[in-house]
């Protein structure tokens, strides 16, 4: 699909995202031999970007937010705000999908879709 801006939009669902950490093999070498790649879980393909964001949030939460100090408290607050904002953005994207074909509805779909990485924007002529 192309528009006047010279870009096309592709659905993120059918775009394969090969894992660069393991070059798509699903395994990485360690001192104890090959193990499942931690970035793709051994599949060789990265999950949807929203899943990667949630994995990263959980990693940060596990590593940094358990303490009783001010920094841990700040991180817990920031993670809660991030999740609240992403949930609202997902709902906005869903509402915009049902909002018809007005200019505002189209812009809402593009802005929310790009923020949530729901689709990939590629220059016209370079579609795979």
| H-helix segments, 6-69 | 49-64
**Nearest distance from residue 41's CB to Zn ion, in Å?**
8
Q: How far apart are CA 22 and CA 15, in angstroms?
A: 18
**Nearest distance from residue 28's CB to Zn ion, in Å?**
7
**Nearest distance from residue 30's CB to Zn ion, in Å?**
13
Helix (H, G, I), strand (E, B) or coil at 7: strand
39 binds Zn ion (CB under 5 A): yes
How many chain residues touch Zn ion (CB under 5 A)? 6
Contact residue for Zn ion among 5, 11, 15, 21 (CB under 5 A)? 21
Q: How far apart are CA 110 and CA 105, in angstroms?
A: 9
11 binds Zn ion (CB under 5 A): no
Q: How far apart are CA 11 and CA 78, in angstroms?
A: 30
Q: How far apart are CA 33 and CA 54, in angstroms?
A: 29
**Nearest distance from residue 125's CB to Zn ion, in Å?**
30
Q: Would you say 33 or 100 has its CB closer to Zn ion?
A: 33
121: nearest Cα among 50, 14, 113 = 113
Q: Would you say 2 or 45 has its CB closer to Zn ion?
A: 45
Binding site for Zn ion (CB under 5 A): 19, 21-22, 37, 39-40
């Amino acid at each position: 699909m192309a528009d006047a801006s010279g870009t096309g939009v592709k659905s993120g669902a059918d775009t394969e995202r090969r894992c660069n950490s393991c070059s798509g093999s699903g395994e990485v070498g360690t001192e104890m031999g090959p193990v499942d790649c931690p970035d793709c879980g051994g599949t060789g393909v990265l999950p949807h970007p929203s899943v990667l964001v949630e994995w990263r949030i959980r990693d940060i939460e596990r590593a940094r937010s358990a303490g009783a100090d001010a920094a841990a408290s700040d991180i817990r607050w920031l993670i809660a705000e991030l999740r609240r904002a992403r949930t609202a953005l997902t709902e906005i994207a869903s509402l915009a999908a049902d909002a018809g074909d007005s200019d505002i509805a189209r812009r809402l779909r593009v802005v929310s879709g790009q923020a949530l990485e729901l689709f990939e924007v590629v220059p016209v002529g370079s579609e795979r």
